[in-house]
Chains A and B, each alone.
Chain A
Amino acid sequence: MTEPPIRTVCIIGAGVAGLAMAKALDEIGVRYEVHERGSEVGGVWTDGYEGYGVQVPKSIYEMPDFPMPDSVPEFPPGPVVQAYLHDYARQFGIMDHVHLGSDVTAIREDTAKPGWRVTLMRDGKRSTRRFDLVVVCVGLYSNTPYLPEIGNREDYGGAILHNSELRESAILRDHRVAVVGFGKSATDAALLSERLAGETHIIARHLHWPVPRRLAGILPFKWGLLNRMTLSLIPLYKDPTPFERALHRWGRPLIWIYWRLVELLLVVQCGLWSRLGARQSLVPEDPVEIGAFSEATMVPHPEFFGKVRHGRIRVHHSGVQRFTRSGVELSDGTQLTVDRVVFATGWRSDYGFLPPDLHTRLGAADDGFYLYRQMLHPNVPRLAFVGYASTVSNMLAYRMQACWLAALIAGRHALPDADAQRTEIDRMRAWKRSWMPFSHARAARLIVHLQHYLDELMTDMGLDPMRKRGVLAPLAELVAPYQPSDYRTVTATGDAMTASR
């Protein structure tokens, strides 16, 4: 990939991934431009529904090389995250390289020399520039809302909204509201509605295991979820060690009872056994160790399940069958009379600037496209993706991806040959499809397996994946949470803490 040498890089998108990539390229001294179609840096954090924010604590959602200041709340609101990312770009001199309002409309391979010709649209003017490498940092989703196709829409007399349109509270005030979805944004929309509207329903086709901010009301969830002990108990990664394999075979009753106890804790703490809506309970069908990898792992606002228990928010475990004149009919036959239907059903992917044949070469399927180390495909040299990963700590994941890619460009590590990359991609695809629930972003989904992924990136870069230090390090490795601060010293040029070889 790096022959001839890469001297110019185009980064598409100035969100978390784009800024992380820019900083990493700066560390190795490679020229780059960041093209962002929006008017500010920050990607998804530049805009959102009323009250949007981070669902995990800032100790998990921060750039490893730029800790969030103490003045930032533990669960930062969206505008605070955007300001933080703007500070990050300013602090490291990235803003000088960012072209705001510059929309990448197409890329095509340069036939004269390995690289890409990138078509840009800015202020109504079209231009084309050439780069040795293009790094796509637009994330998993575009700014095009995903609204499922539901029949009889034209019959409905009320308003149909996407949750991103909930910028002004007046839109829900004193109305009867149905929220469709059961992820973080759906529960946020339901809470907003509960404060303002006359009646609030939430329609959930699939129930998800909630992750409380504090387990048993005491322990921050990162202590229960993001350590290596828990990592050894979730479904095995694609290449487990012989000991992990043996543990999951001979120790299966132990692992099974552990997760049932976790489920019991969640059921009791969140009141999932309460009689709710048209169904008896909110206990999901999937075991927690599987369900945690479904479409929407959520850390709901602490008030959410209390409002549900008190009947302020009515949950319907069903789908929307069709619209009626006065509301919606659910799959279980329930008729809801509502005058606002809010879809909190996520966003569409948008890689429209990639030529159609590229989708084929990337092996795009219903569940996304599988890449080597979530970043590269041997069929398409000199095109990289940073930010095509869904994890518990995206800032950490994207910063480490950027360091790995920049270190590769700088020749600090090398790729295996194309066949070995394809074999690795095939193994990842087979592993995910063997157990991970289907979603359109399954190829990008890592969630808690982020730790295994980071271990791979560290090992590739010749760095020590075990990040804890001190006499108590073995215990800390087992039970202490892994978070961005553990990777503070890692850069594209190495690790100030230590190198394993």
Chain B
Amino acid sequence: MHAFIWAGTALGFVIGVIHALAIARPAIGTSPEQTARIVWRAVVTLVLWTVFGAYLLIFWLLGAVVMGLSAKPGPGQS
């Protein structure tokens, strides 16, 4: 359990870094106020992914199992 939480948190951190970079990229060349807002948003995004990474991993695994067992179509499928 302990290992799972650490794994989820680590995974969340990695995704968070990628997401934060994606958010922060448009900040280049904007006004200082705008840059501060964007960077702050990127930081909060990284924190949220890290904190909730383990929970999201649980739901991802649950979804993968139930989706595999279910015949219910997903978006765009007939």
Task: Show the binding face of A for B, using Cβ within 8 Å.
Answer: 235, 241-243, 251-258, 260, 287, 289-290, 434-435, 464, 466, 471, 473-475, 477-478, 498, 500-501
A235 touching B30, Cβ below 8 Å: no
The total of interchain contacts (Cβ-Cβ below 8 angstroms) comes to 69
Residues of A within 8 A of B41 (CB): 466, 473-474, 477
Interchain CB contact (< 8 A) of A475 among B44, B59, B74: B44
Interchain CB contact (< 8 A) of A253 among B33, B40, B63, B76: B63
Q: How far is the CA of A475 from the CA of B52 in the complex (A)?
A: 14
A474 touching B73, Cβ below 8 Å: no
- Residue on B with the closest CB to A471? B40
Residues of A within 8 A of B56 (CB): 254
Residues of A within 8 A of B64 (CB): 253
Kindly state the interface size class of chain B when it binds its partner: 20 to 34
B63 touching A435, Cβ below 8 Å: no
- Residue on A with the closest CB to B26? A500
Q: Which of B18, B34, B56 has the most CB of A within 10 A?
A: B34
Residues of A within 8 A of B30 (CB): 500-501
Query: Interface majority SS on B: helix, strand, loop or mixed?
Result: helix
Interchain CB contact (< 8 A) of A254 among B31, B37, B60, B76: B60
* A464-B34, A474-B44 known; A254 vs B59 contact (CB < 8 Å): yes
Q: How far is the CB of B41 from chain A (nearest CB, A)?
A: 4
Instruction: Scan residues 36-78 of chain B and give those whose CB is less than 8 A from a CB of chain A.
Output: 37, 40-41, 43-45, 48, 56, 59-64, 66-67, 72-76
A-B contact pairs, 21 of them (CB 8 A): A235-B75, A241-B22, A252-B67, A252-B74, A253-B59, A253-B62, A253-B64, A255-B63, A256-B66, A257-B59, A257-B62, A257-B66, A258-B59, A289-B75, A290-B75, A290-B76, A473-B40, A473-B41, A474-B41, A498-B34, A500-B30
Residues of B within 8 A of A474 (CB): 40-41, 43-45
- Residue on A with the closest CB to B65? A253
Q: How far is the CB of B14 from chain A (nearest CB, A)?
A: 12
B61 touching A253, Cβ below 8 Å: yes
* A242-B22, A473-B37, A500-B34 known; A287 vs B73 contact (CB < 8 Å): yes
Q: How far is the CA of A107 from the CA of B34 in the complex (A)?
A: 46
Task: Show the binding face of B for A, using Cβ within 8 Å.
Answer: 18-19, 22, 30-31, 33-34, 37, 40-41, 43-45, 48, 56, 59-64, 66-67, 72-76
- Residue on B with the closest CB to A236? B75
Q: How far is the CB of A389 from chain B (nearest CB, A)?
A: 22
Q: How far is the CA of A490 from the CA of B37 in the complex (A)?
A: 19
Q: How far is the CA of A346 from the CA of B48 in the complex (A)?
A: 44
Q: How far is the CB of A289 from chain B (nearest CB, A)?
A: 6
Residues of A within 8 A of B76 (CB): 235, 290, 434-435
Q: How far is the CA of A142 from the CA of B52 in the complex (A)?
A: 49
Residues of B within 8 A of A471 (CB): 40
- Residue on A with the closest CB to B38? A466
- Residue on A with the closest CB to B44? A474
* A235-B76, A253-B61 known; A260 vs B66 contact (CB < 8 Å): yes
Given contacts A464-B34, A473-B41, 8 further A-B contacts (CB under 8 A): A254-B56, A256-B63, A258-B63, A260-B72, A435-B75, A471-B40, A474-B40, A478-B48
Q: Which of B18, B37, B60, B75 has the most CB of A within 10 A?
A: B75
Residues of B within 8 A of A252 (CB): 63, 67, 74
Residues of A within 8 A of B37 (CB): 466, 473
- Residue on A with the closest CB to B62? A257
Residues of A within 8 A of B44 (CB): 474-475
Residues of A within 8 A of B43 (CB): 474
Q: How far is the CA of A473 from the CA of B67 in the complex (A)?
A: 34
Q: How far is the CA of A434 from the CA of B76 in the complex (A)?
A: 7
B22 touching A243, Cβ below 8 Å: yes
Q: How far is the CB of A430 from chain B (nearest CB, A)?
A: 13
Interchain CB contact (< 8 A) of B67 among A253, A290, A477, A500: A253
Residues of A within 8 A of B60 (CB): 251, 253-254, 257
Residues of B within 8 A of A289 (CB): 75
Q: How far is the CA of A361 from the CA of B61 in the complex (A)?
A: 51
Q: How far is the CB of B45 from chain A (nearest CB, A)?
A: 7
Q: How far is the CA of A256 from the CA of B60 in the complex (A)?
A: 9
Q: How far is the CB of B43 from chain A (nearest CB, A)?
A: 8
Q: How far is the CB of A287 from chain B (nearest CB, A)?
A: 7
